Amino acid sequence: MKHKLWWWIVAAAVLAASAGVWWSAQRDGSRTSYRTAAVERGALQATVSAAGTVMAVSQVQVGSQVSGQIMEVLADFNSEVKRGQLIARLDPKSFEYRVQQASADVEAARAAVLTAQASALSANASVARAQVELRQAERDLARNRDLVAQAFLSPAELERTQATVNTLREALNVAQAQFQVAQAQTRNAEATVRQRQAQLAQARVDLERTQIRSPVDGIVVKRSIELGQTVAASLQSPELFVIARNLDDMQVEVPVDEADIGRVQPGQQASFTVDAFPGRGYDGQVRQVRKSATNTQNVITYTVVVSFRQQRGELLPGMTANVRIVTDVRDNILKVPNAALRVRLPGPAGEDAQPSGPRREAARATPRDTGGDGRARQEVGTRGKLYLLPAGQLEPHPVAVRLGISDGQMTEVLAGDVKEGDLVVTGVSAGEQGGGRSAGGPRMRL
């Protein structure tokens, strides 16, 4: 009987121990686990990232101002050309004939000038002869008046002499008018010569334009013509070549979203990579922020020009560049992981919790100096909330903060009751009874 009682006592002890272990496990499983990170002090860079296109600083489109058939192509892709170098030639025959015709027109116009000048000389001689005859008639009239007064000549003879003078005076007027007409014809013939000379010059210019020459020093990056092709230059000049002036000094044209364009200014430093050389980085500088907006599917962007200089000449126009523009740099500041700003806890430490006591006062404090350089910053920043987990405490408490710049992973803390080394909650996971699982990373059991 005693032996049986002893077994009952042992069984009851085992059951009690098992119940205690089970209750403890259930209690531990219901506790919340937190992932934490320390508040750091250091440097931070704010950047704007976008994808752009590598382009030459200056690209010149070479066209043709005249129409014709391509007789020679003297430049190809990647050809280095100098200013004035012949790179293509059109068939010049029709333009040579136009030059010959214009030259003949000039000679004919010059002959017309000589004819007009001779007519002017003849008209001038007629004027001189009319003047001589008129003066002789006027002397005869004066002499006849004296003879009539002395009764040596009849009045009828005097009247006839007067009529002769009047006739010669009108003849002089006609001769002078004819001389003026001859002078006008001479000037017209001279103007015709100038007109024909201008047409000759235009014909020579058109003949010269059959020779396509490079307007700048550079490299041919595009050729759009083939031998024997007919070029038709009517309303606009057709594109024959595209010449990049310099492939050492280049630029990246980056479309930046309107939400970030306010932070981009000329002179800021930038870096970029290209898919063709993934292990290499290139440095540049913001040269221009263009004010013209581009609307693509209701997305407004502005073009930012990043200039750079390459030494090896490996980057080619048209490459896609992943650009990172440094918009702000802060040294010796407090910073926290961005994950800590996205945490929202349920219960007493959750959304509705407010800092109490001295922490509430710190949350309402004005922005304090977090740069360590003795100069108080004036940035108001944006509002945020962190959950601090001091050593020895089981539950975190919220702290209101003011936030500054961010590099995408860390964010500057401008004001708030936090200091270097404080632990902030970056993630949360419930125990097994709470139905939650860890979102990743190590789990700390409190």
User: Do 117 and 127 belong to one domain?
Assistant: yes
| Last-in-domain residue among 161, 188, 209 | 209
User: Do 113 and 204 belong to one domain?
Assistant: yes
- Average pLDDT of the chain is 83
- Residue 101 domain-assigned (yes or no): yes
The pLDDT tens digits for 336-361 are 999 999 988 865 555 444 443 333 33
CATH value at residue 70: 2.40.50.100
Q: How confident is the model at residue 26 (pLDDT cuts 50, 70, 90)?
A: low
* Whole-angstrom distance, CA of residue 326 vs CA of residue 46: 6
- Residue 119 domain-assigned (yes or no): yes
User: Do 158 and 78 belong to one domain?
Assistant: no
- Residue 356 domain-assigned (yes or no): no
- Residue 226 domain-assigned (yes or no): yes
User: Do 110 and 178 belong to one domain?
Assistant: yes
- Residue 194 domain-assigned (yes or no): yes
**Beta-carbon count within 10 A of 133 CB:** 17
**Beta-carbon count within 10 A of 48 CB:** 21
pLDDT given for residue 371 in this prediction? 41
pTM of the model: 0.64
pLDDT given for residue 324 in this prediction? 95
User: Do 166 and 152 belong to one domain?
Assistant: yes
Q: What is the mean pLDDT of residues 164-184?
A: 92
User: Do 97 and 122 belong to one domain?
Assistant: yes
pLDDT given for residue 14 in this prediction? 65
Sign of the CA dihedral running 350, 351, 353, 354:
positive
Domain with 233, as residue range(s), is 59-91+211-243
User: Do 120 and 106 belong to one domain?
Assistant: yes
- Quote the number of domains for the chain: 2
- Residue 72 domain-assigned (yes or no): yes
pLDDT given for residue 188 in this prediction? 95
User: Do 101 and 205 belong to one domain?
Assistant: yes
The pLDDT tens digits for 383-396 are 999 999 887 777 88
User: Do 161 and 186 belong to one domain?
Assistant: yes
The pLDDT tens digits for 239-259 are 999 999 888 889 999 999 999
pLDDT greater than 90 at residue 436: no
Q: What is the mean pLDDT of residues 312-335?
A: 92
User: Do 112 and 203 belong to one domain?
Assistant: yes
pLDDT given for residue 442 in this prediction? 39
Q: What is the mean pLDDT of residues 373-392?
A: 68
- Residue 132 domain-assigned (yes or no): yes
User: Do 182 and 215 belong to one domain?
Assistant: no
Share of the chain above pLDDT 90, in %: 59
CB-count burial class (<10 Å; 0-12, 13-18, 19+) for 155: exposed
Whether 243 and 60 have beta carbons less than 8 Å apart is answered as yes
CATH value at residue 104: 1.10.287.1490
The pLDDT tens digits for 79-134 are 999 999 999 999 999 999 999 999 999 999 999 999 999 999 999 999 999 999 98
Rounded-to-10 torsion of CA 422, 428, 431, 432? -160
Phi-psi category of residue 186: left, alpha or beta, with phi > 0 → left and psi -120 to 50 → alpha: alpha
Q: How confident is the model at residue 7 (pLDDT cuts 50, 70, 90)?
A: low
| Last-in-domain residue among 188, 209, 230 | 209
User: Do 81 and 123 belong to one domain?
Assistant: no
The pLDDT tens digits for 258-281 are 999 999 999 999 999 999 998 899
The pLDDT tens digits for 46-75 are 999 999 999 998 899 999 999 999 999 999
- Residue 22 domain-assigned (yes or no): no
